[in-house]
Chain A
Amino acid sequence: NAGVTQTPKFQVLKTGQSMTLQCAQDMNHNSMYWYRQDPGMGLRLIYYSASEGTTDKGEVPNGYNVSRLNKREFSLRLESAAPSQTSVYFCASSLQGVVEAFFGQGTRLTVV
């Protein structure tokens, strides 16, 4: 029972490099989310997808893009990484927006 799977678990990027964080869920959930977690700032929503084919900005979308590839997969892309994007990134999913959310194990990203 995999739940929400994120890849990679760790990544080090140089400033200006690009990368895509992958997320997949096997619970047939409609809604998927990308958060970042920073010390003293809690979890902040970057983007979310209420259903397949839709995406919306969250609280801190600048510097990121997302793709809801299909119902299972929701990717987060950093086009030109900056040190301010050093963080732990979590993907989450829920059956619909207002019910229990399930989280992946996180991706620890360092931008140098």
Chain B
Amino acid sequence: KQEVTQIPAALSVPEGENLVLNCSFTDSAIYNLQWFRQDPGKGLTSLLLIQSSQREQTSGRLNASLDKSSGRSTLYIAASQPGDSATYLCAVTTNAGKSTFGDGTTLTVKP
């Protein structure tokens, strides 16, 4: 059974700092990995999707990497801003279309 772990569970940083969120998964037979953002009381917004054949994806200040063989992904946020405060979730999807989500990392960026 696929298990997805996100460490740390919570992170607090001052504004402007670069930071890395971690996601690990136990079964490397994945089709893709997706990073989401969830604001309090809201749904999930897709940030980046990495196909299993890719090593990384970038969108603005966000960069996600994937090392399928070691079962790890990182989400790098450059020059963090208070508006980045949210919970970040990763989800891995198998070839059969089954997705497993991590519990998320709650990020607080202090002004």
Contacts and interface: CB of A to CB of B under 8 A. Distances in A.
Given A41-B103, A42-B101, A98 B32 contact: yes
Contacts, number: 55
Interface centre among B4, B31, B93, B94 (most CB of A within 10 A): B93
A43 B94 CA distance: 16
For chain A, give the interface size range. Answer: 20 to 34
| Dominant secondary structure of chain A at its interface with chain B | strand
For chain B, give the interface size range. Answer: 20 to 34
Interface of B: 4, 31-32, 34, 36, 41-46, 49, 89, 91, 93-99, 101-104
21 contacts: A4-B43, A35-B101, A42-B101, A45-B99, A50-B97, A90-B43, A90-B44, A92-B44, A96-B97, A97-B93, A97-B96, A97-B98, A98-B93, A98-B94, A98-B97, A100-B34, A103-B43, A104-B43, A105-B43, A106-B43, A108-B41
